Structure 1
């Protein structure tokens, strides 16, 4: 297919753009709240944080752990930068009439994959080591997971990640199932949390 034909066949991914803006705003808000709590802890190690509800639900333990500053600085700063970029991509999709370059999508996809890898690490640390559920962290998990699926499956189905046509059709079908795939992902995390922390009994019984 020629470049002109590809351009003619291009459909702006409006739903994806709107999702990225909304997810980015939610993720940015969670990262901002975590940053404020981190500042509060730096100012006063005994500060009472609004996110600390009980021994099961709170963010103070996470922020004070080495996992909370994985690269030598607080993880929420990564969130502030990453979710700002996500919002920018969403706005760009709505503002630009043409197709983004493949390298642009691949770069963004790499960032999304790294974000998911970090979230998986932090979920594992929260459930097995820290044994606490951080509210703002969980908000981040909630938006990172569908963002990964949406961006990755879009790139797979649209050819930004080169694949044979048959494989692209498979991923195009999966793209329409993102809500279900996301719910399954949430269920897996919830089941793991139940196994490790017995959160249903401790929170509601």
Structure 2
């Protein structure tokens, strides 16, 4: 007789979420708040650039590290409006989910699955924009990099919660393996290594121009 891995209990009780997911809810809250701040700054800069294309910002450090250069590109408004506005809309939703999760709310499976799909699309957009900045625009924006880092960690924590809660439609054979990965925080380790690799990519591509 096979033993099926069970998700976390359906209710965390009145004192808060299960201990296995509490840290992930906190991580979602912190990183989504950081992304919201960065999105607000980028949105403000976008409005400024709309009125003055020659505007200078404190993050215009050199030819490579330049918010103005990135913000003036067509990639900064993929959908016809500044990309930062997407963050202003989406991050408050994530913050609300995180706060409610910390309070012990158990969300319906469909809602957490929808959040996972939506944030996965957001993650894909963030990395597409990073690719465009590095390989086509030729400049990077510190606030954009913060959004990319924050989005990565929110995605990792949200995925961990959904795996442990049994919210994702995973193959039966893959579920125990993924649960073991997220319980031992190998997912977080992989994210840190991945981001460190991106930092090395920037250093290799731009060299001293990144810092001077």
TM-score range, shorter chain: 0.7 to 0.9
Give TM-score, length-normalised by structure 2.
0.85
Q: Which runs of 5+ in 1 are unaligned?
A: none
4+ runs of 1 displaced by more than 4 Å? 8-11
2:87 maps to which of 73, 79, 82:
79
- CA gap 1:24/1:8 in 2 versus in 1, 3 angstroms: closer
Structure 2 residue runs without a partner (length 5+)? none
Q: In the alignment, what sits opposite 2:40?
A: 32
| Greater RCO, CA 8 A, separation 6+ | 2
Q: Which residue is equivalent to 2:146?
A: 139
Q: Is the 8 A contact 2:67 2:142 kept in 1?
A: yes
Q: Secondary structure at the match of 1:7?
A: coil
CA contact (8 A) 2:27 2:153 kept: no
Aligned pairs for 1:50-199 (under 5 A) are 50-95=58-103, 97-175=104-182, 176-195=185-204, 197-199=205-207
CA contact (8 A) 2:55 2:68 kept: no
Q: CA deviation at 1:158?
A: 2.7
Aligned residues: 199
Equivalent residue for 1:20? 28
| 1:116-153 C-alpha deviation (Å, 9 max, x unpaired) | 11011111101110111101000001111121122123
C-alpha separation between the residues in 1 aligned to 2:98 and 2:10? 19
Q: Check the 8 A contact 1:62/1:126 in 2, yes or no.
A: yes
Hey, which of these two has a bigger chunk of helix by percent? 1
How many angstroms does 1:67 deviate by?
A: 0.5
Contact 1:157 1:169 in 2 (8 A): no
CA–CA separation in structure 2 for the residues paired with 1:98 and 1:154: 13
